[in-house]
Amino acid sequence: MREAASGGAELVLLPEWWAAGGTAAQKRAAAQGLDGDALSWAAVTAAELKIDLIAGSVTELVEGEEKLHNTSVHLGPDGRRKAIYRKIHLFDNDLEGASFRESDHQLPGDKIVTSGAADGTIVGLSICYDLRFPELYRLQAVDGAKILLVPACFTRKTTEAHWQTLLRARAIENHCFVIAANQVGEIAPGMQSGGDSMILDPWGTALAQADTTSEMVIGAELDFDELERIRSELPSLASRQPHTYGSVQRGIS
């Protein structure tokens, strides 16, 4: 965060589970409320550096609930909370000989969330597996988002196979900048995450890209005039026909 801010960053995104990862049991042991040490530190540091901080995601312990939430928090340059997003889509899959069942220990969120950066730019919040659900990002773009934020912990296999393709699709179809911070290296015994964090422009071009083997800071300057030019010349958002999307017809009409 300090390296990014010293390089001129006004908005910083951390990856999923930046404060504590590991196995499900380790995440539960490290779970905290929103006033816990991790997010309190993040708030103080955001205020010190005077940045918009999207604090990746943390494992949130909610009073009265047995299961946990995977939660991203937007902290403003004054350190105050601007938005809270709880991951909607839970990763229940069988990959690389391992079974992932987030729903066994997590609850899904039920709200799509956008927030405003200090300069007024609307950003859309999401977490990891959400990236595979384009409707979430389309609704954020329709709500005014110009930046889509994706803290993640994609497995190495899915990073290599799908990560870049999905990020480019979300950028192109919504004419938004996409900032994606992915974990890298071993995050739990036998589980590797693939790195390759990226910043993409609304044309799907990579403005910055991390490698796949080590932690690093990447940054880019976002040209919102270019975003508006692309949206004007290829107005796919304006060309939407939402009144036709409510039903599906089969056969000959």
Q: Which of 87, 146, 153, 176 is catalytic?
A: 87
Is residue 187 in some structural domain? yes
Contacts of 126 (CB under 8 A, 6+ apart): 72, 85, 87, 136, 137, 140, 148, 149, 150
Q: How many folded domains does the chain comprise?
A: 1
Retrieve residue 223's tokens: 């040209």
| Residue 242 within any structural domain of the chain | no
Q: Which residues contact 107 (CB under 8 A, 6 or more apart)?
A: 62, 65, 67, 68, 69, 86
Q: Give the range of the structural domain holding residue 68, as residue numbers without chain letter.
A: 2-237
> Looking at the domain assignment, is residue 246 inside a domain?
no
Let me know if residue 46 belongs to a domain.
yes
Residue 87 annotated in active site = yes
Q: pTM of the full predicted structure? A: 0.95
Query: DSSP character for 217?
Result: -
Whole-angstrom distance, CA of residue 41 vs CA of residue 48: 10
82 belongs to a structural domain: yes
Known catalytic residue at 65: no
| Residue 128 known to be catalytic | yes
- The whole-angstrom separation of Cα 54 and Cα 47 is 13
Q: Rounded to whole angstroms, how far apart are CA atoms 161 and 142? A: 29
- Domain membership of residue 133 (yes or no) is yes
pLDDT tens per residue across all 253 residues of the chain = 999 999 999 999 999 999 988 888 898 999 999 999 999 999 999 999 999 999 999 999 988 888 999 999 999 999 999 999 999 999 877 766 666 788 888 999 999 999 999 999 999 999 999 999 999 999 999 999 999 999 999 999 999 999 999 999 999 999 999 999 999 999 888 889 999 999 999 999 999 999 999 999 999 999 999 999 999 999 999 999 999 988 777 887 5
List the CATH number of the domain containing 73.
3.60.110.10
**Distance between CA atoms of residues 159 and 193, nearest Å:** 7
Q: Name every residue whose Cβ is closer than 8 Å to that of residue 7 and which is 6 or more positions away in sequence.
A: 217, 219
Dihedral angle sign, alpha carbons of residues 123, 126, 132, 133? negative
Kindly state whether residue 113 falls inside one of the protein's structural domains: yes
Would 243 be classed as within a structural domain? no
Q: Which of 16, 27, 82, 153 is catalytic?
A: 16
